[in-house]
């Protein structure tokens, strides 16, 4: 083995090729709107996480509510003078700011948990369908087709009508309504990646099927999945808000944003806009932030742009 056979170390320019992750961060930061979306999303998520410390009042604790403070406009002081209702109060004297912070917590939590569960289920099924193909693939994809031909709100409403109310029930309904998106996306990515030669090489090297699936195939299927998951979080939150607005979602004792909007909706024409509008604005900002981030992720993770 002579030294002459060793190729020279790559030139510095070659060695400086950016790590994929760093390049993604740089490409993401190229859009100001996307950075704004990310900042907004962080603010909303932090507000939701720290709601118990940020909120002036615990809206779930009926002892803290004063019925006499009901339907006060934004900026009014409470009857006992201890706090100012920055965003007004609803008909039970609940501080809207506190209710919105706690509602965000539920909306974000339900959306994220439902998305992660649907992602796990859809990913596993789609990966198996794409890699093994055959009868399993055909049956699974026909089920997904049938389900996707119904609006997801209809699927969720049928399930909630069967199960009844509750935070666990609504998560199940959201998972059932959304797993098919992940299954389809994973399957199509797995079909493309599974035909590549590195999968054949892994098989020849005697690696086990689970190892090939999860260590070789899955990581290469992730980029489109991340985009779909990000968009579907927003869809799940909107769906949950819709169901709650219709009175099918969460119980009245733990109001999510949708339920808050529904509560104030009847007062809109009497000039008490704040009960409905502020939770609506919060929901809007949350979904807008997620969509801005997801849109930029889709551009950044686009394989056609990656080759540049």
Partner 1 sequence: MSAQQPIQAAALQQAPVNTPGSEPATGPLLELRSIRKTFGAQPDWLERLGQRLGWLQPAATVQALDGVSLSIARGEVVGLVGESGCGKSTLGRIAVGLHAPSSGQRLWRGTDLDALPEAERRRVGLGIQMIFQDPYASLNPRLRVRDLLAEAPRVHGLIDRPQQADFVAALLRQVGLDPAVADRFPHQFSGGQRARVGIARALAVKPEFLVCDEAVAALDVSIQAQVLNLFMRLREELGLTYLFISHDLGVVRHLSDRVAIMYLGRIVESAPTAEIFSRPAHPYTQGLLAEAPTLKVEKKRFLAIRGELPSPLAPPRGCHFHPRCPHAFERCREEVPMLGEVAPGHVSACHLHAIGVEASSVSEG
DSSP string, 91-149: TT--BHHHHHHHHHHHHHHHHHHHHHHHHHHHHHHHHHHHHH-HHHHHHHHHHHHHHHT
CB of 150 to partner 1, least distance (A): 25
CB of 199 to partner 1, least distance (A): 8
Closer to partner 1 at the Cβ: 15 or 63? Answer: 15
Closer to partner 1 at the Cβ: 143 or 201? Answer: 201
Rounded to 10 deg, the angle between the 218-245 and 167-194 helix axes is: 150
Helices and strands (H and E) in the chain: how many: 14, 2
Residue at token pair 């009042």: 57
Tell me the C-alpha to C-alpha distance, in Å, between residue 217 and each of 63, 118, 127, 226, 303.
Answer: 55, 19, 8, 15, 16
Closer to partner 1 at the Cβ: 26 or 196? Answer: 196
N- to C-terminal Cα distance for the chain?
37
Task: Report the C-alpha gap between 188 and 130 in whole angstroms.
Answer: 7
The values of phi and psi at residue 83, to 5°, are: -145, 160
CB of 198 to partner 1, least distance (A): 4
Binding site for partner 1 (CB under 8 A): 1, 5-10, 14-15, 17, 19-20, 135, 196-198, 200-208, 211, 215-216, 219-220
CB of 205 to partner 1, least distance (A): 4
Closer to partner 1 at the Cβ: 168 or 200? Answer: 200
CB of 13 to partner 1, least distance (A): 11
Closer to partner 1 at the Cβ: 125 or 221? Answer: 221
Closer to partner 1 at the Cβ: 208 or 266? Answer: 208
Closer to partner 1 at the Cβ: 30 or 200? Answer: 200
Contact 260, 90 (CB under 8 A): yes
CB of 305 to partner 1, least distance (A): 14
Task: Report the C-alpha gap between 290 and 308 in whole angstroms.
Answer: 27
**Residues 6+ away with beta carbon under 8 Å from 107:** 48, 237, 240, 241, 256, 257, 258, 283, 286
CB of 280 to partner 1, least distance (A): 42
């Amino acid at each position: 083995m002579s030294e002459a056979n060793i190729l020279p170390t790559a030139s510095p320019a070659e060695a400086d090729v950016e790590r994929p992750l760093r390049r993604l961060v740089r490409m993401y930061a190229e859009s100001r709107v996307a950075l704004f979306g990310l900042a907004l999303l962080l603010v909303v998520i932090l507000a939701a996480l720290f709601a118990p410390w940020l909120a002036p009042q615990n809206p779930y604790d009926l002892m803290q509510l004063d019925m006499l403070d009901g339907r006060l406009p934004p900026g009014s002081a409470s009857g006992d003078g201890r706090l100012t209702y920055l965003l007004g109060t609803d008909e039970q004297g609940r501080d809207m700011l506190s209710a919105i912070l706690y509602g965000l917590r539920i909306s974000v939590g339900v959306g994220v948990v439902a998305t992660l569960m649907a992602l796990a289920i859809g990913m596993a099924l789609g990966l198996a369908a794409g890699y093994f193909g055959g009868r399993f693939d055909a049956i699974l994809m026909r089920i997904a087709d049938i389900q996707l031909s119904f609006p997801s709100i209809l699927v969720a409403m049928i399930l909630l009508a069967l199960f009844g109310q509750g935070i666990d029930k609504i998560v199940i309904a959201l998972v059932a309504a959304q797993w098919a998106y992940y299954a389809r996306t994973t399957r199509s990515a797995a079909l493309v990646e599974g035909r590549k030669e590195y999968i054949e090489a892994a098989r020849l090297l005697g690696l086990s099927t689970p190892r090939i699936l999860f260590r070789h195939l899955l990581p290469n299927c992730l980029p489109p999945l991340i985009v779909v998951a990000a968009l579907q979080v927003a869809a799940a939150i909107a769906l949950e808000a819709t169901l709650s607005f219709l009175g099918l979602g969460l119980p009245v004792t733990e109001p999510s944003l949708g339920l808050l909007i529904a509560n104030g909706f009847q007062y809109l024409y009497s000039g008490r806009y704040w009960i409905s509008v502020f939770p609506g604005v919060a929901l809007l900002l949350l979904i807008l932030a997620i969509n801005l981030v997801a849109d930029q992720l889709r551009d950044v993770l686009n394989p056609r742009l990656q080759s540049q």
